[in-house]
């Protein structure tokens, strides 16, 4: 799509006159849409003079750029002023509330006459508890809160539009400069000048973080006072729950949609401010925490292979906040998934103990002793710590684990303090870095547990000092939404999950993705989401809305059919396959009006979907639980504590507990085909064209080339041995022939295996590609040839030595007889 059309579609109507005048710039440039795009498109009558160049540059750099920059600056200042006015209006409500509470306390401790005076002053709305300032009535408070909420919605909307405004105009200036340099680049170039001016007027680099924090705090205050105790914290019934189940949803977010997603979330959830010292001194300008995770695996990447192939595996990682030079606490986390049951061991330690702990030289006796002294020798905490340490060290030793991958990212957490029903985290600036020491050029010192070049120099994103092949920067942000499975689904959460702003990424794992990208030559299997990185995840809002409606309709039809099978068909009043209720319609863009409505119930389809999701056991939430919790990286679930287990039903077993997926049961389940229907001879999956991953095809070719390389080396060896042997050395010539035969067999084996694997790939076969016979035969053949070579050579030396001894004795005998 041409930029002019893109600009027209992106214009916010109230600001139309303040956008870049791209049409005027093209006219000044004498841009002809039908002309070819090349620097030599000037015609004889199209003489570009210095005056023309001056007019274009003046219009681009001075007029248009100044106009856009001034408007962006003024609009941002107005938004800040409007935000300050909203804060002032909310201050009156807060002061009045505090005054009422103080007056109530004073009423209990003063004389009856003072209590009467205070009670007379309040109903009239003329003064607060001190009798000095007017106190608004309850109706005035509600009206003020509603007006402020409407103003906050408008500010949020204009903040989103301002970010889009800066982005589209920035692209317009670069496009105009590119057109100019392509058309007039033989004589004039305007791109360097434009870059200088853009650096001086950085309208596209505005940080909206402080404004968003202020809006978040006001949204939280207004929501608490308008919606009452529902959103102020956990109710009594919920607080005494021993078990809390959560459903986890993962998404990718394009950088262009980042700010809009943040504003949609902060309208309902405040931003959690992380501070490693204490929450009492946390400030609003505290930056989001930078988190680092180091994952372990064996040189053969066995943990990765089990994770990708079987989805049942164990994993180990170290995790901390901020820079390692600040000596933070380091979390040691081990997760095990087996037979749909997950368990976790987790404890903290310090940096100086990590290397000895990994080698098995330090069993954390000091930490265990301190915990036993504090909590008791027989306490559950001490026993859990001791068993966790032993299990982790045994796990490292058995699997020969070492650090292989580092993941660094910045986390923004959203949650109502004291209310953990909805927990959202947004990870940005995600970078994967090689941390291995498995080849001839190790990225990490084998005697150290981490890369000292990164931590000593306190490198930060984008880690530009690291070599190209050792770092990979993830192009999107990771959004994770955890909702307590309490039978109540918020409509604003549905708006985010089903909007065009996010791309669903179920079971995405940082560990799996990092290994598959940075160690592609060491692994043979890859996750399913890799091809999606090559496509643009941005979608048109209307198309996303229509796709979601179609998906919902299909889900309703499926649930209706499943309900009939289970003999628990939902009533027709709940939903119907042919129509949807108003609650099933979601907003295609997540507008504030739609997000402001509360969902009072869930459909049977949503309830059944929630039972099939990723469920986790959680404990009461603190600030750091969301900001720094162990994310759903390995198993799709989150746990906090030393060791827990949870069984997650999935697939057919979740829907039909008595349904068996064994081969025996499948063979016994034979359905009689109706008349006129025959059993298909080929699968539907085999009907379309074969689409093979390039990595799979190239891996097969690479193996074939290595076989031919071995064959050429053996043939060269045999030829050199044959030529150097001479005519009289029959043993060496015979061995040269043997080496030649082995070389021919290796070449034939390599070609045969190559063609066999090609047939498996084309036929979509599920067989293993392993072929261990050829390497074993070649190795045995070479060993036998070398042993025979050594034996024959040793026998020839012995014969020469015996012959020499016989000659010496014969000469001595002749000399003796000569003397006689």
- pLDDT of 599: 39
Check pLDDT > 90 for residue 541: no
Q: What percent of the chain has pLDDT over 70?
A: 70
pLDDT tens digit string along 762-789? 776 767 777 878 888 888 888 887 888 7
- What is the rounded average pLDDT for all residues in the chain? 74
Neighbours of 591 (CB within 10 A): 13
Q: What are phi and psi of 685, to 5 degrees?
A: -65, -25
- pLDDT of 628: 52
> Which is more confident, 49 or 232?
49
Contact between 778 and 710 under an 8 Å Cβ cutoff? The reply is yes
pLDDT tens digit string along 221-262? 888 888 764 444 444 334 334 445 678 889 999 998 988 899
Residue appearing with tokens 């090689």: 434
- pLDDT of 454: 92
- pLDDT of 240: 36
Closest among 177, 169, 144 to 26, alpha carbons compared: 177
Q: What percent of the chain has pLDDT over 90?
A: 13
Average pLDDT over residues 256-277: 80
pLDDT tens digit string along 546-593? 888 887 776 676 555 444 333 333 433 333 333 333 333 333 333 333
Query: What end-to-end distance do the CA atoms of the chain give, in Å?
Result: 117
The Cα–Cα gap between 47 and 599 comes to: 66
pTM (predicted TM-score): 0.56
Tokens of 179: 């057109």
Contact between 197 and 65 under an 8 Å Cβ cutoff? The reply is yes
- pLDDT of 808: 83
In what helix (H) or strand (E) does residue 334 lie, and over which residues does it extend? strand 330-338
Average pLDDT over residues 67-81: 91
Give the helix, strand, coil percentages of the chain, each rounded to 5.
55, 10, 35
- Cα dist. 400→297, 330, 411, 438, 440 in Å? 8, 21, 31, 12, 18
The Cα–Cα gap between 33 and 133 comes to: 68
Average pLDDT over residues 605-631: 41
- Cα dist. 783→776, 780, 786 in Å? 11, 5, 5
Check pLDDT > 50 for residue 41: no
The Cα–Cα gap between 165 and 183 comes to: 27
- pLDDT of 683: 62
Among left, alpha and beta (phi > 0; psi -120 to 50; other), residue 16 is alpha
pLDDT tens digit string along 717-766? 888 878 887 777 777 788 888 888 888 988 898 898 889 888 888 776 76
> Which is more confident, 2 or 538?
538
- pLDDT of 95: 74
Please provide the DSSP assignment of 550-586 as one string.
Answer: HHHHHHHHHHHHHHHHTT-PPPTTT-BTTB--GGG--
In what helix (H) or strand (E) does residue 303 lie, and over which residues does it extend? helix 302-310
pLDDT tens digit string along 692-718? 677 878 888 888 898 889 889 888 888
- pLDDT of 621: 38
Closest among 205, 289, 619 to 460, alpha carbons compared: 289
> DSSP label at 287?
P
- pLDDT of 729: 77
- pLDDT of 634: 46
- pLDDT of 571: 39
- pLDDT of 207: 74
Please provide the DSSP assignment of 349-406 as one string.
Answer: E-HHHHHHHHHTS---HHHHHHHHHHH-TT-HHHHHHHHHHHHHHHHHHHHT-EEEEE
How would you class 280 by CB atoms within 10 Å of its CB: exposed for 0-12, middle for 13-18, buried for 19 or more?
exposed
């Amino acid at each position: 799509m041409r930029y002019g059309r893109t600009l027209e579609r992106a214009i916010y109507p109230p600001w139309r006159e303040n956008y870049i005048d791209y049409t005027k710039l093209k006219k000044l440039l004498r841009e002809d849409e039908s002309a070819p795009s090349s620097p030599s498109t000037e015609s004889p009558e199209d003489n570009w003079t210095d005056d023309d160049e001056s007019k274009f540059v003046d219009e681009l750099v001075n007029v248009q750029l100044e106009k856009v920059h001034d408007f962006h600056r003024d609009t941002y200042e107005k938004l800040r002023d409007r935000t300050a006015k909203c804060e002032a209006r909310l201050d009156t409500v807060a002061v009045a509330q505090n005054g009422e509470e103080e007056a109530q306390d004073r009423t209990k401790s003063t004389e009856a006459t003072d209590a009467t005076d205070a009670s007379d002053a309040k109903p009239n709305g003329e003064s607060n508890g001190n009798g000095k300032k007017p106190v608004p009535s309850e109706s005035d408070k509600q009206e003020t809160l509603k007006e402020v909420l409407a103003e906050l919605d408008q500010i949020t909307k204009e903040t989103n539009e301002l970010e889009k405004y800066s982005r589209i105009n920035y692209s317009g200036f670069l496009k105009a400069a590119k057109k100019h340099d392509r058309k007039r680049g033989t004589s004039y170039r305007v791109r360097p000048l434009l870059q200088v001016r853009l650096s001086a007027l950085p309208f596209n680099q505005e940080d909206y973080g402080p404004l968003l924090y202020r809006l978040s705090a006001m949204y939280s205050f207004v929501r608490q006072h308008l919606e009452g105790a529902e959103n102020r914290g956990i109710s009594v019934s919920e607080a005494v729950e021993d078990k809390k189940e959560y459903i986890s949803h993962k998404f990718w977010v394009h950088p262009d949609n980042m700010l809009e997603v943040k504003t949609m979330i902060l309208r309902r959830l405040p931003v959690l401010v992380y501070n490693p010292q204490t929450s009492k001194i946390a400030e609003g300008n505290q930056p989001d925490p930078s988190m680092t995770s180091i994952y372990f695996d064996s040189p053969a990447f066995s943990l990765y292979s089990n994770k990708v192939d079987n989805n049942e595996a164990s994993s180990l990682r170290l995790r901390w906040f901020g820079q390692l030079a600040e000596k933070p606490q380091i979390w040691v986390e081990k997760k095990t998934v087996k037979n749909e049951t997950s368990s976790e061991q987790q404890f903290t330690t310090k940096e100086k103990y990590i290397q000895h702990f990994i080698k098995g030289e330090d069993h954390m006796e000091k930490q265990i002793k301190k915990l036993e002294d504090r909590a008791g020798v027989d306490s559950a905490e001490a026993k859990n710590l001791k068993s966790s340490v032993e299990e982790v060290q045994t796990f490292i030793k058995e699997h020969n684990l070492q650090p292989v991958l580092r993941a660094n990212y910045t986390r923004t957490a959203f949650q109502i303090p004291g209310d953990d029903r909805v927990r959202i985290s947004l990870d940005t600036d995600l970078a994967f870095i090689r941390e291995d020491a498995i080849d001839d050029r190790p990225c990490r010192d084998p005697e150290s547990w981490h890369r000292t070049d990164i931590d000593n120099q306190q490198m930060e994103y984008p880690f530009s000092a690291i070599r190209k092949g050792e770092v990979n920067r993830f192009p999107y942000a990771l959004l994770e939404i955890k909702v307590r499975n309490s039978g109540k689904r918020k409509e604003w959460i549905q708006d985010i999950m089903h909007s065009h702003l996010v791309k669903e990424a179920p079971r995405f794992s940082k560990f799996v993705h990092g290994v598959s990208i940075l160690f592609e030559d060491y692994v043979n299997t890859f996750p399913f989401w890799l091809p999606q990185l090559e496509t643009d995840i941005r979608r048109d809002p209307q198309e996303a809305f229509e796709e979601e409606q179609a998906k919902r309709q299909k889900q309703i039809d499926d649930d209706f059919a499943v309900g009939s099978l289970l003999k628990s068909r939902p009533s027709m009043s709940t939903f119907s396959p042919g129509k949807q209720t108003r609650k099933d319609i979601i907003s295609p863009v997540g507008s504030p009006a739609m997000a402001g409505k509360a969902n009072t119930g869930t459909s049977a389809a949503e309830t059944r979907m929630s039972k099939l999701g990723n469920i986790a056991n959680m404990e009461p939430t603190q600030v750091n639980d969301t900001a720094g919790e162990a994310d759903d990286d390995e198993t799709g679930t989150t746990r906090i504590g030393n060791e827990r287990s949870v069984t997650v039903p999935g697939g057919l077993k979740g829907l039909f507990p008595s349904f068996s997926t064994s081969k025996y049961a499948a063979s016994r389940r034979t359905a009689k085909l109706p008349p006129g229907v025959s059993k298909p001879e080929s699968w539907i999956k085999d009907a379309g064209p074969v689409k093979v991953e390039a990595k799979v095809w190239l891996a097969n070719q690479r193996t074939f080339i290595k076989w031919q390389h071995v064959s050429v080396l053996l043939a060269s060896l045999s030829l050199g041995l044959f030529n150097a042997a001479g005519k009289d050395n029959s043993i060496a010539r015979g061995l040269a022939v043997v080496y030649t035969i082995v070389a021919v067999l290796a070449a034939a084996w390599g070609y045969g295996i190559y063609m066999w694997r090609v047939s498996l790939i084309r036929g979509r076969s599920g067989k293993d590609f392993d072929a261990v016979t050829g390497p074993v035969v070649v190795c045995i053949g070479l060993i036998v040839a070398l042993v025979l070579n050594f034996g024959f050579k040793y026998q020839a030396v012995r014969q020469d030595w015996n012959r020499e001894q016989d000659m010496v004795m014969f000469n001595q005998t002749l000399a003796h007889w000569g003397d006689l």
